[in-house]
Amino acid sequence: MSYIKTFKLNATISRCTNNFGPWQHVEKLVPTTICNAFADKKIPVYGDGKQRRYWIFVDEHNQCVMNILKFGQAGQTYNIAPNPKNLICNIDLVKMLLRYCGKDESLIQFVKDRPAHDICYWLDASKLKKKGLAWHDTISMNKRFELTTLWYKEAIEQGNISC
């Protein structure tokens, strides 16, 4: 923001919650879970897995960024976050992904939590919605996770990604 003000840039700032979807790096929670599940490897879950995160599908995040670029007001900051019902505990997300992979919860391995690991990330996206810059859900978040799981399964089988 100081750079925008100092140099009088015609720019906006956007902040987003956790993204997921095709081509996400396999070090991240969603692809790690899916890849490990299909390989019958243990799935590391930090601490007790009760860290809560908002998740947004990458295409929906991109749509918001495009809306902000086209219609946002210079010098403003916009938080991009999904519906509050999409606040999911990591352990619940891992269990859901395991179901979509046809695997059981015995693959879950609790590991030492990271130092200073936040219990919850939260963003207030009311300004984005009030200005009409948010995306419109056409598919449920659970369905998005299911489709992402299927995408990774196919990408693994075709050798397009390695886990």
How many angstroms separate the CA atoms of 115 and 25, rounded?
Answer: 23
Domain that holds residue 149: 2-157
Q: Specify the pTM.
A: 0.90
Instruction: Kindly state whether residue 142 falls inside one of the protein's structural domains.
Output: yes
Instruction: Kindly state whether residue 125 falls inside one of the protein's structural domains.
Output: yes
Instruction: Kindly state whether residue 163 falls inside one of the protein's structural domains.
Output: no
Q: How many CA atoms are closer than 13 Å to the CA of 63, on its beta-carbon side?
A: 15
Residue 163: pLDDT band with limits 50, 70, 90: confident
How many angstroms separate the CA atoms of 37 and 66, rounded?
Answer: 34
How many angstroms separate the CA atoms of 16 and 78, rounded?
Answer: 9
Q: Which residue, among 25, 46, 56, has the nearest Cα to 152 in the 3D structure?
A: 25
Q: How many domains does the chain have?
A: 1
Instruction: Kindly state whether residue 99 falls inside one of the protein's structural domains.
Output: yes
Instruction: Kindly state whether residue 71 falls inside one of the protein's structural domains.
Output: yes
The encoded tokens of residue 77 equal 């900051």
Instruction: Kindly state whether residue 151 falls inside one of the protein's structural domains.
Output: yes
Taking only the tens place, the pLDDT of each residue in 30-70 is 999 999 999 999 999 999 999 999 999 999 999 999 999 99
Instruction: Kindly state whether residue 162 falls inside one of the protein's structural domains.
Output: no
13 forms bridges with which residues in the sheet? 77
Instruction: Kindly state whether residue 58 falls inside one of the protein's structural domains.
Output: yes
CATH number of the domain encompassing residue 50: 3.40.50.720
